Amino acid sequence: MSESQKESDARRSGKPAADAPRLQAEFLTSAARLSQCPPAAGPEIAFAGRSNAGKSSVLNRLTGNRRTAKVSKQPGRTQLLNFFDVPGTRGRLVDLPGYGYAQAGKSAQTAWQQSVNDYLSNRDALAGVVLVMDIRHPLQPFDLELIEWADPSGLPLHILLNKADKLGRGAQGKALTRVRRAIKGAPLTTVQVFSASSGQGLPELVALLEKWLAGEPG
């Protein structure tokens, strides 16, 4: 069976092919703020984005294990910075709390956002950020802030237009074009369509993360 046949079968069934590419990740520890983060061991890749965009689901799709990171229908599920070792490398994946969780209460929200800002601005080991957006609502204010900040800071940023299974091909293409336009002039920023539910876009994401974990810019 050809690669594309396998992928389209996987999409139809909602399951990735048995030999789909994967990135293993094992939970290491959680931190409420930068000062509690474990000493870095190698390159770290952070998953950022609005609450409910699907950051934890993307991590689970990467590992093929839906229990790697906690997923919830209620936004605000991830309240700490969660560190995952990637076996066979010195690198780590970091699941960040989401932005814009309205029900959290002002002070809790400010505390999480402070921890995310601190981590993104001051973590020397940070090698790249995966910015997860809901493809139906891309380029929210926090997304734009991160996009404007990352490239001039020398930080590679990869945008996932997640939940692509919610849209047809035409609408996916439109969203992709819109985001490509917004990141024109930011050479360190890239974008792809993705679905944590179906596995669409997984090979492209795994290939990029492997490069980042190996210390290459992508």
Ligand X SMILES: Nc1nc2c(ncn2[C@@H]2O[C@H](COP(=O)(O)OP(=O)(O)OP(=O)(O)O)[C@@H](O)[C@H]2O)c(=O)[nH]1
The residues of the shown chain that bind ligand X, judged by CB under 6 A, are: 49, 51-57, 71-73, 75-78, 97-98, 162-163, 165-166, 195-197
Task: State the residue number with the nearest CB to ligand X.
Answer: 98
Please, which residue, 36 or 72, has the CB nearer to ligand X? 72
First to last CA, the chain: 29
Q: Which amino acid, 130? A: V
Report which of 159, 196, 164, 209 is spatially closest to residue 66, judged by C-alpha positions.
Answer: 196
Please, which residue, 12 or 184, has the CB nearer to ligand X? 12
Choose the one of Mg ion, ligand X, none that binds residue 82, judging by a C-beta under 5 to 8 angstroms depending on kind: none
Asked if 193 and 201 count as a contact pair (C-beta separation under 8 A), the reply is: yes
Please, which residue, 26 or 165, has the CB nearer to ligand X? 165
Nearest distance from C-beta of residue 95 to Mg ion, angstroms: 6
Asked if 76 and 123 count as a contact pair (C-beta separation under 8 A), the reply is: no
Please, which residue, 132 or 150, has the CB nearer to Mg ion? 132
Would you give the DSSP letter of residue 68? S
Choose the one of ligand X, Mg ion, none that binds residue 191, judging by a C-beta under 5 to 8 angstroms depending on kind: none
Would you give the DSSP letter of residue 66? T
Nearest distance from C-beta of residue 135 to ligand X, angstroms: 9
Nearest distance from C-beta of residue 196 to Mg ion, angstroms: 11
CA 148 from centroid of its chain's CA atoms: 17
How many Cβ atoms are within 10 Å of 140's Cβ, its own excluded?
A: 16
Interaction site with Mg ion (CB under 5 A): 55-56, 77-78
